[in-house]
Amino acid sequence: DSDRGLRVHMVSMEYGAQNSSFAGVAEDALTVRSAFLDAGSDALRAVARQAVQRADDVARLLWIFARNTAFAVSGNADEADTEGIQAAFYQQVDHRFRGWLRELGPDSRRDDVLADWSVVLRTTATGLAKDLLSAQGPDVWAGRWDGTYRITGAVAVERLRRGLRDCLGTDPRSTTSENGESK
């Protein structure tokens, strides 16, 4: 039965010094529909891999956004909490991904399920970006010169928006076309 849910449990060991001891054990479990594990379900697994790749690409865009924001405030991109924004992103999408993956089955339409997942990624990323910008002082809007470009909060937002469009496609909820005209 392709609708039967199967729980897949994974365990990984972290080895200590010189691989002579264990420093830790990490474990996790995912529930997938049984069809996901069928030998002939390569296309289904490819959709899941594509969804993970999109999440990783968005996490990278947030890393860049955090660096641009830090540069706009202080002139030093290295002050950015890049790990923090990426960790917050993965933490927020983890539960949603598990539910999305649990529903993925042979009856799923590739474009539709990836579009749904892209909405989750875009919404999460833009929310985190908004929170990061809101936590900055007014210097973020004045920005700093980086060679021939002035990096400001608005520039960081626009670069993130373009990166999300390139990575995830256009936002289906957008009320403007690519040239800025109302739809």
Cα angle 123, 129, 135; round to 5: 135
In a domain, residue 131? The reply is yes
Indicate the average pLDDT of the chain. 92
121: CATH: 1.10.132.100
Beta strands 22-33 and 144-146 are unpaired
pLDDT tens for the chain, 183 residues long, are 667 889 999 999 988 888 788 888 899 999 999 888 999 899 999 999 999 999 999 999 999 999 999 999 999 999 999 999 999 999 999 999 999 999 999 999 999 999 999 999 999 999 999 999 999 999 999 999 999 999 999 999 999 999 999 999 987 766 555 555 544
Strands (E), the chain: 5-15, 22-33, 144-146, 149-151
The Cβ of residue 105 has, within 10 Å, a number of other Cβ atoms equal to 16
In a domain, residue 109? The reply is yes
Count of structural domains, the chain: 1
In a domain, residue 70? The reply is yes
- At 40, which helix (H) or strand (E)? none
Three-state SS letters, 57-75: HHHHHHHHHHHHHHHHHHC
pLDDT of residue 182: 46
In a domain, residue 150? The reply is yes
d(CA 137, CA 166): 29
In a domain, residue 19? The reply is no
Residue that has been written with the tokens 């947030």 in this structure: 62
d(CA 66, CA 68): 5
Phi, psi of 182, rounded to the nearest 5 degrees: -65, 145
Q: Which domain holds residue 123?
A: 39-168
d(CA 53, CA 149): 30
- pTM for the structure as a whole: 0.87
